[in-house]
Structure 1
Amino acid sequence: MTQVIFRPRRIRVLAGILAVVFVAVFVVVAVLLKRSDTGVVFHTSDQVAMIGIGLLLAAGALWSTWPRVRADAEGIEVRNLLGARRYGWDVVRRVSFPDGAAWARLELPADEYVPMLAIQAIDRDRAVAAMRELRRLHREAGSG
């Protein structure tokens, strides 16, 4: 069974750069803390804390790279920031990308929908290719 996987591309690059900047800035600040003449006494624990803050901010930036969409002939799994859920194609009414939206979504019965943060407008042609592939799988499953 063939499986397709989609992840955001540009956000991954931007988040990686931002994470490196966070760590670099906070390491530099931590190193320079003891050399400042502000009248405040900084200790090694303060330096470690500053580096820790940089690492936490970097982890937060990298969290935006977590979304993923995995689909096959049976259904689709959408993993957003807070978890993953699998849907059979039989419950998916439509795979859509509304005008002006930042990301695609699955439309479910009773006017419910699930955002697919992994397929983002900022990825342009990759998003178009992902939508075509998901719509093809949905159609082939006899649901579309």
Structure 2
Amino acid sequence: MPPATDLPTLPLTWAPRRNRAVLLPASGLLLVVFGGMAVLLPASWQLNDRIMLSFLGLVFAGVGLMLARPRVDADEQGITVVNFLRTRRLQWAEIVRVNLRQGDPWVTLDLADGTSLAAVGIQPGGGRDQAVRAARGLRDLTEARGATAAAEVV
């Protein structure tokens, strides 16, 4: 277990910042472009065509916002893993191991109940070194906090 002084300070959030920097403005741009097209199209386009065009803009922007959503929030009690569609709260003692193997698209958490959970908020797509540092920080916190939680239960 790493010394307590080497542990990252809590609360802490890991998120793929480059993804967000691209996806959030792109989603806004999609809304503006599709909305503008729906308004500025020639009169030969019917109302239902304009509504569908606006709806498509909303769908594309929604997909962009969904892809920008992943993050991992750590605090004193545990972590909150926010993935594309689901959010899951875990106590430190529930996490058995933090995995980031060569070629993995994101961190995987092995849980005490025998399942695993993808933590998409920590991914090498934004930089391998940054993802490795984040995974090691999460691993160190898990080892330190999980041992503390286990000692409190005993």
Say whether the fold is shared (TM-score over 0.5): yes
- Equivalences, count: 139
Q: Which has the higher helix share?
A: 2
Alpha-carbon RMSD: 2.5
What per-residue deviation string (whole Å, max 9, x for no partner) do you get for residues 39-87 of structure 1? xx31345334312321221121111111121113432221112222122
- Give structure 2 stretches of 5+ with no counterpart: 1-8, 148-154
Q: Which has the higher strand share?
A: 1
Q: Aligned residue for 1:106? A: 109
In the superposition, relative to structure 1, how do residues 138 and 55 fare at CA in structure 2: closer, same or farther (>3 Å)? same
- Runs of 4+ residues over 4 Å off in structure 1: none
Q: C-alpha distance in 2, partners of 1:3/1:71?
A: 6
1:106, distance to aligned residue in structure 2 (A) = 0.7
TM-score norm. by structure 2 comes to 0.74
Q: C-alpha distance in 2, partners of 1:110/1:18?
A: 39
Identical residues among aligned pairs (%): 33
1:99, distance to aligned residue in structure 2 (A) = 1.6
What amino acid sits opposite 1:123 in the alignment? G
- Give structure 1 stretches of 5+ with no counterpart: 36-40
TM-score norm. by structure 1 comes to 0.79
Q: C-alpha distance in 2, partners of 1:86/1:4?
A: 15
